[in-house]
Amino acid sequence: MNYSIPLNIRVRSHYLEKVRPFMDQNIIKVITGQRRVGKSYLLFQIINLIRDRQSGAKILYINKEDLAFSFIKTASDLNEYVLTNKAEKTTTYVFIDEIQDIQDFGSALRSLLLHADIDLYCTGSNANLLSGDIAGHLSGRYVEVEVYSLAYPEFLAFHTLSDTCGSLDKYLKYGGLPYLIHLELVDEVVFEYLKNIYNSIVYKDIINRYALRNTTFLEQLVLFLAAHTGSIFSAKKISDFLKSQRVNMAPNQVQTYIQHLVNAFLIHKVPRYDLVGKRLFEIGEKYYFENLGIRNGLWGYRLEDRGKIVENVVYNHLLFKGYKVQVGVMGTKEVDFIAEKEGERLYVQVALSIQDPSTLEREYGNLKNIPDNYPKKVVTMEAFSGNTVEGIETQELGSFLMS
């Protein structure tokens, strides 16, 4: 079937470089992430790379959101379509967009992997895309690349903006969905678009996928998480609070609904780590939104939420930079983020302002109490270019997001 690649694609080299080492390898490249973060466009960028290297390359592109491919419903359908249309003597590059919409797709992937002349790429909007038995069967045969909303430097490049306070405020308010480059950046336009994206995620990736009946509770839960972004909550605490609002849902059901939101990449669940006991806490996590624009469109962009929003954007940037992130706990004290990558650690505290002496003592004091020599920094909205505090760096938010 014919397909067309949009013109003037803005390249996201950060993700292309993650995929590049696995191109032309008998390994499935799985690209995951929330709807509309740019997974399809990343596939197009990979196709362009292949075409640049091999102008006559055989490419099959299957888009499960296109009715033209509605006949591909099962693993057998997918397997038959690819084998019928693949090249006879050269490599065939197969791209499958939103593969989770194909029943038992894992069986087809395992079968297609048996053909050394097929190079497989697929996208999905569910975090459990390759879980359980499928992951076991494909162990060592796939690599996953998670795509996020635009990082701040990408946002500036996409919108041809310079790094100013006004640009940063736009980013904090509207988030980084790539399609925003086609819209006027004003509240009534952007938030209407983002609410529609939110509805699409909720209905396609949660309500329909899991056959949920209590849609009112799901929407109340999302609003609760938007209002309490970055706060520590257990499923029981959320259940108790919602009961006070006359919304009844047992803690185990709350946990299930939260996991659905996580699986759809709408929110991130961040565990707490005991820096003294060196173990994860079993209950009580923090929740951050994958896209702040969606969060603000639902709840509002409120001055009193500024600290939550800044904390969320710092968390998102650490994910973009490839860190595994946890919340640090030392007795009654907390470190906002423990970021780990390649055996190294970075400790980050987030504060709107460090002018107040009690805030200064809390943010730097908690970091001083950590008994190791990994880098530590405080990220704040205030510009500061002076000395460290006993080796703890202070960095303005814009500078941190550009790093």
The β-bridge partners of 150 are: none
Helix (H, G, I), strand (E, B) or coil at 26: coil
C-alpha–C-alpha distance, residues 98 and 81, integer Å: 16
C-alpha–C-alpha distance, residues 389 and 392, integer Å: 5
> 287 is written with which tokens?
């929740």
C-alpha–C-alpha distance, residues 39 and 147, integer Å: 7
Q: What is the pLDDT along the chain (403 residues), one digit of tens a residue?
A: 567 888 889 999 999 999 999 999 999 999 999 999 999 999 999 999 999 999 999 999 999 999 999 999 999 999 999 999 999 999 999 999 999 999 999 999 999 999 999 999 999 999 988 876 677 778 889 999 999 999 999 999 999 999 999 999 999 999 999 999 999 999 999 999 999 999 999 999 999 999 999 998 999 999 999 999 999 988 998 888 888 878 888 999 999 999 999 999 999 999 999 999 999 998 899 999 999 999 999 999 999 999 999 999 999 999 999 999 999 999 999 999 999 999 999 999 999 998 888 888 999 999 999 989 999 999 999 988 888 999 999 999 999 999 8
Task: Classify domain 152-402 by CATH number.
Answer: 1.10.10.10
Nearest C-alpha neighbor of 192 from the set 272, 96, 296, 297 = 297
- Which of these CATH numbers, 3.40.50.620, 1.10.10.60, 3.40.50.300, 2.40.50.140, describes 13-146? 3.40.50.300
Helices (H), 300-370: 306-320, 357-368
**In contact, 105 and 77? CB cutoff 8 Å:** no
Positive or negative CA dihedral for 58, 56, 1, 29?
Answer: positive
Helix (H, G, I), strand (E, B) or coil at 336: strand
Domain definitions of the chain by residue range = 13-146, 152-402
Do the strands 279-280 and 333-341 form a parallel or antiparallel pair, or are they unpaired? unpaired
Q: Which amino acid is at 214?
A: N
Nearest C-alpha neighbor of 227 from the set 238, 236, 214 = 238
Q: Residue 220 burial (CB < 10 Å; 0-12/13-18/19+)?
A: middle
The β-bridge partners of 333 are: 330
Q: What is the pLDDT of residue 282?
A: 86
> 207 is written with which tokens?
């309500």
Contacts of 167 (CB under 8 A, 6+ apart): 155, 156, 159, 161
> 51 is written with which tokens?
């075409």
45 to each of 12, 24, 270, how far by Cα in Å?
8, 15, 31
308 to each of 5, 40, 53, 229, 340, how far by Cα in Å?
39, 31, 46, 6, 22
